[in-house]
Structure 1
Amino acid sequence: MRQEKLKYLAKLALLVLMGIFGSFLISEAGLRLMNISYPVFHGFDPVRGRILEPGMEGWFRYEGNAYVKINSAGFRDVEHPLQKPKGTYRILLLGDSYTEARQVSLENTFGRKVEQQLQSCERLLPHLVEVINFGVPGYGNAEELITLRSRGWAYDPDLVLTMFFSGNDLIDNFPRAELREPAYIPRPYFHLDQGELKLAYNFQEWSPPILKYRLLLWGVHNFRTLELLNQANRVLAARHIGDSQENLSSRAGLADFVYAPPQTPIHREAWDITEGILKLMHQEVLKHGANFFLVTATSPDQIDQEERILLKERLATKKLDYPEQRLRALGEIEGFPVLNLLYDFQQYAEQHPAHLHGFSNTKLGAGHWNEQGHELAAQLISKRICQDPSIL
């Protein structure tokens, strides 16, 4: 009797598995026939943690609408030869999602526009200008420095431009990663040890969490059904993102507080680490015979007039440019140029009805730069590069 029951249960389990497998195949075939895809562009690297997966491509419609293609080197850009062509002035961009800019077409990113606009810069003639985009979403300055070390110097850049986003770079640089994001997101970071920066990792390459993380990435990279399930999970999680961000921010003691002078030890430590990384990056750039240029991106809360008023009241401050002022002072002390986009962006927003952040499928005035934001950023960056003798 018991043996017959076990056989029945085994047959039932087999039928269930066959049903699940069959449904999976039908779902996979249907999604591919209808060309429905929600690509995950991230991959894993034992040195840098998260990377962009070489060869991945597809439409990104979560914010904006653009076709994204990752080149063979693992960056959202066209292919670039390692060896710099003769007569070329090569600019390497470091940054996060503002620099990678999957919300707009590649042609409309500030990096491509800077490349186009600098071709007519008389001080660069007869050189051809080439801009290489090394931006990766989610990166802080630690990952950017490691990317420069492990990948960037092989391209022999003449100028390294780092796009700093105060909205999350300060948090991304903070070593206590467990306070701000799930442990399964691999991240290298720097921490202070008796005043010196020390590199560490919140993961081990072959640890169970990383093996699980890599298995999940393999799944969503190869199966449309898993892409769809991942997208559904992302949409559900987005409904609670407000509460989640608030909790993480309050636990880390950062977030909106970056726009005012530091009030807590955690906040001061985060700034010390951030400035230390930027100093180190500048020093290494000079050692390689290149120039260093820091540009500060804008947060939508600094540009949208209603949000600016609310944030000023919440922080009890008259201005929201503490990061810009602090980084400008750092540049003056260390001897590298800093371009704060904030003031020109604010002036443009006050004089024009158009938004520089946000998209019609999300919220205008919120999120990343749209096409107009990238255009304005490119104009300001190109003008500064062409006119500033400390850059060229």
Structure 2
Amino acid sequence: MKRALHLLANLGISLTAFVLVLVICELVLRAFGHQDIYTASSYPKELFDSSSVSGMRPGFVGAFRSSEVEGEIRINSVGFRDRERSYKPDSSTCRVLGIGDSFGFAHGLPPDQGYLALLEQDLQGIMPGMEVLNACVPGRGPNFYLDLLQRIGPEVRPDVVLMGFFVGNDLDGIVAQRDPHRSDPGINANKTWLRRNIHLYSFVADRMKSIPFVRRMLKGYNISTGLIGAQAIDVLRTEESADFKAGWERLEDVLRAMKGLAPGLVVVAIPTVEQVESDRLVQALERLEYQPSEVDVRHPMERLSRMCSQLGIAQVDLLGPMTRRYAKDHEALYFEIDPHFNARGHAAAADVLAAAFRSGMASNGIPMPNCPRTRSITSLPRGS
């Protein structure tokens, strides 16, 4: 009996010491580690400024949270993650304005590896002085894109507006309410709470994910899959809920308004990793306890294509080309866990967009209104 009590006492002392060490580490991180500057979405809190036209702080210099993704974040004097440039109208050049979320923002990569920067390089090889402005803001959706276009459109006067529509969550911001029984998996909710409240968790988890074999192990055991939430799979369901139907209707209103502001509007349909990589889809379906027969990876793309066709809006669908590229060489186009494009994914997206621009080109010009010797951007093939 005494021995058992002695063991329990030692166990209690060890546990208390362990908790005390964790508390000390947490306090040290809060005081000196700067882990608290990151949001749950891996962006520095100081990046955001509600008084800015973009919602990002002009002149901000920081970095992504060091993990599977990392790199510098530098915001220009206007408030965008783009090089310093003049935004005043210039009749001597053709201007493309990129609007979107963290994909267009080039999450986790240097800005010159993002698909908008790569597209600008490609198009400048055809027409020197061609501009592709990056006005993408992470964590935003269609309602914000419309608002941003209303605010900066008259000043920037773009010839073409490339609106990136991420299938995974861009409807989520305009859907009133999701099915509570299909909310984020409990493990995701727990991890989100830990990241927001326990700095030591973020510190350890991020550094563990920077080790390739650890990432593969976490992914293999279905602990960390990169699934952004149930909505990324719900949007693939052929039987749409009332909330998603309302979301699509709201999106149609947004696109109609954007088309009125920018006749050269082009919608770029950005697929989720689960749409492109079948093994990730199987893993997500198992995690959410869905049946494969409930979903169709083409469903949201076809829905969007029909909508754009009815509105007279050009659309470029990245799903087909990216799926074929992945099937051909099996080189990942997304980060291993993080659900964003990696450098290869951005390069693939830029290639598809550049080809879409070229397919609408006249022999002596480019298909943009207000540009010399051109035809209309609507000559771009819809759903290409």
TM over 0.5: yes
Which residue of 2 is the match for residue 15 of structure 1?
A: none
Q: Does 1:280 align with 2:252?
A: no
Question: Contact 1:260/1:315 (CA < 8 Å) preserved in 2?
Answer: no
Query: What is the CA deviation profile of residues 252-271 of structure 1, one whole-angstrom value per residue up to 9, with x for unaligned ones?
Result: xx441111234321121111
Paired residues of 2:333 and 2:344 also in contact (CA < 8 A): yes
2:81 counterpart residue number: 76
| 1:352-376 CA-partner distances (Å, limit 9, x unpaired) | 13100005xxx3xx51000000001
Instruction: Report the secondary structure of 1:99's partner residue.
Output: coil
Distance in 1 between residues matched to 2:52 and 2:72, nearest whole Å: 28
Q: What amino acid maps onto 2:261 in structure 1?
A: E
Residue 57 of structure 2 aligns with which residue? 53
1:278-300 CA deviation, whole Å, 9 max, x = no partner?
122112212xxxx1101111201
In the alignment, does 2:363 pair up with 1:386?
A: no
Which structure is higher in strand share? 1
* Matched position secondary structure for 1:44: coil
Matches within 5 A, 1:113-132: 113-121=118-126, 125=127, 128-132=129-133
Change (3 A) 1:143 1:236: farther
| SS in structure 1 of the partner of residue 347 of structure 2 | helix
Q: 1:235 to 1:303 in 2, by over 3 A?
A: farther
Q: In the TM superposition, what whole-angstrom CA distance separates every residue of 1:205-231 from its partner, at most 9, and x where no partner exists?
A: xxxxxxxxxxxxxxxxxxxxxxx9885
Q: Are positions 1:88 and 2:74 aligned together?
A: no
Figure out how many residues of one structure are paired with residues of the other and give that number: 301
The 1:46–1:265 alpha-carbon spacing in structure 2 relative to 1, beyond 3 Å, is farther
In the alignment, which residue of structure 2 is the partner of 1:66?
A: 71
How many angstroms apart in 2 are the aligned matches of 1:369 and 1:311? 18
Q: 1:58 to 1:43 in 2, by over 3 A?
A: closer
Opposite residue 258 of structure 1, the aligned amino acid is V
Aligned residue in 2 for 1:326 = 303
Q: How many angstroms apart in 2 are the aligned matches of 1:237 and 1:62?
A: 8
Q: d(CA) in 2 for partners of 1:304 and 1:284?
A: 36
Distance 1:39 1:266, change over 3 A: closer
Q: Secondary structure at the match of 1:51?
A: coil
Contact 2:177-2:243 at 8 Å conserved across structures: no
CA shift, 1:131, in A, is 1.0
Root-mean-square deviation (CA, aligned residues, Å) is 3.8
Aligned residues: percent identity?
A: 25
Match of 1:296 among 269, 277, 281: 269
Q: Is the 8 A contact 1:66 1:102 kept in 2?
A: no
C-alpha change, 1:356 and 1:165, in structure 2 (3 Å) is same
Q: Indicate the residue corresponding to 2:117 in structure 1.
A: 112
Contiguous gaps of at least 5 residues in structure 2: 1-26, 35-42, 185-195, 207-217, 361-366, 368-375, 379-384
8 Å contact kept, 2:273–2:334: yes
- Seen in structure 2, the aligned counterparts of structure 1 residues 175 and 72 have a Cα distance that, compared at 3 Å, is farther
2 CA distance for matches of 1:115 and 1:100? 14
Spell out, residue by residue over 1:131-150, the C-alpha distance to the aligned partner (whole angstroms, 9 max, x if none): 11111111010011111111
Aligned match of 1:158: 159
Q: Counterparts of 1:221-300 in structure 2 under 5 Å?
A: 232=200, 249=230, 254-286=231-263, 291-300=264-273
Cα deviation digits, residues 11-56 of structure 1 (max 9, x gap): xxxxxxxxxxxx99x955x97xxxxxx84353232697x8222221
Is 1:140 the counterpart of 2:146? The answer is: no
Q: What CA distance in whole angstroms lies between the structure 2 residues aligned with 1:343 and 1:113? A: 20
Structure 2: distance between partners of 1:134 and 1:374: 16
Contact 1:88 1:129 survives alignment (8 Å): yes
Does residue 306 (structure 1) correspond to residue 270 (structure 2)? The answer is no
Scaled by the length of structure 1, the TM-score of the pair is 0.67
Matched, 1:100 2:105: yes
Counterpart secondary structure, 1:164: strand
SS at match of 2:377: coil
Q: The residue matched to 2:291 in structure 1 has which SS?
A: helix
Distance 1:336 1:73 in 2: 29
